[in-house]
A and B are shown apart, each in its own frame.
Chain A
Amino acid sequence: MRRLVRWELLLLVILAVTIVINSAMSPMFLTIGNQINLFQLSIEKIIVALMMTLVIINGEIDLSVASMMGLAACAFGWLFQLGVPAGVAIPMVLALGLLGGAFNAFWITVIGMPSLVVTLAMLIGFRGMARILVEDRGITGFPEWFNALGQQPILGPLPLALLVFAVLFVILLVVLHRSGFGRKVYVIGNSAEVARYSGVAVPRVKALLFIASGFVASLAGLLYTARVSAVRGDVALGFELDIITMVLLGGVSIFGGKGTLWGVLLSILIVLNLRNGMALANITGHLQTGVIGLLLILSVLVPNLVQSARLSFRPGSAAR
């Protein structure tokens, strides 16, 4: 626990430094408008990152989320083209998200395959389904009210997606850190066998997480569609990288069992501010992606190096 607190302190310092540098570069940086805008540009990713936090703490991974976002967007566009009213299409797409998550869960919990392989396959699979639906078309012309959901503030200056993020954060915070279910998530991530020997229904917890992950991804896909008012086959392509980076940078262990949503929130803020700062400094979006990739590696490498350094300085202790 203490190690985690220290990691989060480090994140806080990094965040403060980023904010100070950014504010020095642009006086506009700290305005509410810019901060909301900053959230708005990556809002779908960070929504999915919240759910991913639980999945990774549980000792699993879901690489298919970005493709599910794409599939949800494309399914919505396809339904809309078929003449299904947007109001009806939305619940259908959300149901599709649940179904996709359940599909992943089946292979993982019933067949017993590793989630890495299953969701890697569905990273391709869901994307493929999205392409079957829209092929190489672009779909636009959604109703005004739908696009407005993605673009107009609905509560004070806050747009819907930001509210969804806030609500989801609070819900997951309570679920993960306060509820019995959240406790089981941690225990399974720590050791699935200990959980089983303590009477925890391990497959059920895992299945629920993957189903929820599919659902949240489809919701994020819809929000994205509303925000950009258009659908194409490559919606959210490659987003999984950013999402997983944010989670791991937040101090969540890739091996499960460790990490908090607060840490992930901090790392989300860092990543957003970093991106914004880089944009202010005229650094291209592609270079930003590279920096995120580097961050991802460092977020695991640095603790590893620190740990092995600490071990080798402690005389008499075993190397592993």
Chain B
Amino acid sequence: MTGWLQSVHPQTLRVTALALVLALVILFFGSQIDNYYTARMFNRISTSVAIILLIAIGQALVVITRNIDLSVGSIVGFTAYLVGDLLVAQPDLHPLVVVAAAMALGTALGAVNGLLVAYGRVPAIIVTLGTLALYRTLLVEYSDARSITTANLPKWVVELPQATLFSIGNLDIRVTFAIALGVALVVHLALTRLRAARRLYAVGSNPDAAAIAGINAERVVFTAFLLSGALAGLAGFVFLARFGNITVVAGLGFELKSVAAVVVGGVNIFGGSGTVIGVVLGTTLVDVIDNSLTRWALVSEFWRDALLGMLILIAVAADTLMNRYLDRLRRRRHMSELSAGTAPLPRETG
């Protein structure tokens, strides 16, 4: 009766459940809030998803390897500010150079995390809790209490968030949203098609077996942190473009939001599994709740963090309980075979 549950890949189960929850949440808010299904709402959510999604994808790569990156918020702030500063000094830089600079900066910061975790054998939670503070401090020192303001930025940067790739009716597909979706697509393809990327799963799924299979776990973990840094750097640039005014608190709290999006998106916090589709859905869910609460009359927007916390708890608890249930099913199957097949074996004696 419950056999079908086991033939479905757990990941498929998670994504399906998540899509269902997302649909229900949207329907719920649609019934609560007037004029909910509008282009404005879509555009608003899509622009804010763009930033979080980039960070969450990087976070997912790290979490899949059984680690965590709590420094992403600080990396976002750091790159947003430094790239802003660079643009103020050299407004004529080619956009691609600017983006490359942002990603390079993020990569460098990610490399520090990766080195300490993979080769220094310091638990990721300790390292990134430390660099969360450290990177923010570097930013504060560097900024010397100055802010980047929209007025000083080149026009193309300021206009980037409004730039629309194409529209479907009233729905604008903004360039930043398209970038984020593009990255999601690339990472999705890499995770499912690229042989090297499969090692992320192998290392997170069973480190001992990975070692026997000849996988260099240190390098895999290091790479995950590099990528997380690079994507946080890219997010830093998008952040700069979206807000224009950058102070030293830029990106504060993004680390928790990204962990939330990833965990809600069905990436196993113990590593080994997770999909980009799940992360996209998780990010969207977190952001839809976030943006809808501000418009909901019944509760104030101040509820969002409390709800976010509960959402994480429930997502992980559901996962824990589901795994335990599947495990029990498997054991029961094994046991029933064990007690069914006790007939003596045919035996030849010499």
Q: Is chain B's binding surface mostly helix, strand, loop or mixed? A: helix
Q: Is the CB of B317 within 8 A of A293?
A: no
> A107 interface residue, CB < 8 Å from B?
yes
Contact flags B99-136 to A (C-beta < 8 A → 1, else 0)? 00000000000000000100011110111011111101
With A125-B310, A128-B309, A248-B126 already in contact, the answer to whether A293 and B269 are too (CB < 8 A) is no
> In the complex, what distance in Å separates the CA atom of A80 from the CA atom of B174?
47
Q: Which residues in B have their C-beta under 8 angstroms from that of A244?
A: 126, 129
> In the complex, what distance in Å separates the CA atom of A129 from the CA atom of B256?
16
Q: Is the CB of B121 within 8 A of A304?
A: yes
> In the complex, what distance in Å separates the CA atom of A291 from the CA atom of B138?
10
> A122 interface residue, CB < 8 Å from B?
yes
> A121 interface residue, CB < 8 Å from B?
yes
With A120-B259, A297-B116 already in contact, the answer to whether A107 and B133 are too (CB < 8 A) is no
Closest chain A residue to B139, Cβ basis: A286
Q: Is the CB of B309 within 8 A of A124?
A: yes
Closest CB in chain A relative to B174 CB, distance in Å = 28
> A131 interface residue, CB < 8 Å from B?
yes
Q: Which residues in B have their C-beta under 8 angstroms from that of A301?
A: 116, 120, 122
> B312 interface residue, CB < 8 Å from A?
yes
Contact flags B298-340 to A (C-beta < 8 A → 1, else 0)? 0010111111111011001100110010000000000000000
Q: Which residues in A have their C-beta under 8 angstroms from that of B310?
A: 121, 125
> In the complex, what distance in Å separates the CA atom of A261 from the CA atom of B307?
36
> In the complex, what distance in Å separates the CA atom of A292 from the CA atom of B129?
11
With A111-B317, A126-B309 already in contact, the answer to whether A296 and B137 are too (CB < 8 A) is no
Interface residue from B300, B316, B321 paired with A135 (Cβ < 8 Å): B300
Closest CB in chain B relative to A212 CB, distance in Å = 21
Q: Which residues in A have their C-beta under 8 angstroms from that of B316?
A: 113, 117-118, 121
Contact flags A220-252 to B (C-beta < 8 A → 1, else 0)? 000000000000010000101100110010000
Contact flags A296-309 to B (C-beta < 8 A → 1, else 0)? 11001100110010
Interface centre among B132, B263, B316 (most CB of A within 10 A): B316
Q: Is the CB of A293 within 8 A of B130?
A: yes
> In the complex, what distance in Å separates the CA atom of A297 from the CA atom of B121?
11
Q: Is the CB of A294 within 8 A of B130?
A: yes
Q: Which residues in A have their C-beta under 8 angstroms from that of B270?
A: 114
Closest CB in chain B relative to A242 CB, distance in Å = 9
Q: Is the CB of B140 within 8 A of A286?
A: yes
Interfacial residues of chain A within 29-88, with CB under 8 A of chain B in the complex: 61
Closest chain A residue to B302, Cβ basis: A131
Contact flags A89-117 to B (C-beta < 8 A → 1, else 0)? 00000000000000000010001111011
> In the complex, what distance in Å separates the CA atom of A294 from the CA atom of B140?
15
> A254 interface residue, CB < 8 Å from B?
yes
Q: Which residues in B have their C-beta under 8 angstroms from that of A112?
A: 320, 324
Q: Which residues in A have their C-beta under 8 angstroms from that of B140?
A: 284, 286-287
Q: Is the CB of A296 within 8 A of B129?
A: yes
Closest chain A residue to B263, Cβ basis: A117
> A289 interface residue, CB < 8 Å from B?
yes
A-B contact pairs, 10 of them (CB 8 A): A121-B316, A125-B305, A125-B310, A127-B305, A132-B302, A241-B132, A289-B136, A290-B137, A293-B132, A293-B134
Q: Which B residues form the contact surface with A (CB < 8 A)?
A: 116, 120-123, 125-127, 129-134, 136-138, 140-141, 256, 259-260, 263, 269-270, 300, 302-310, 312-313, 316-317, 320-321, 324
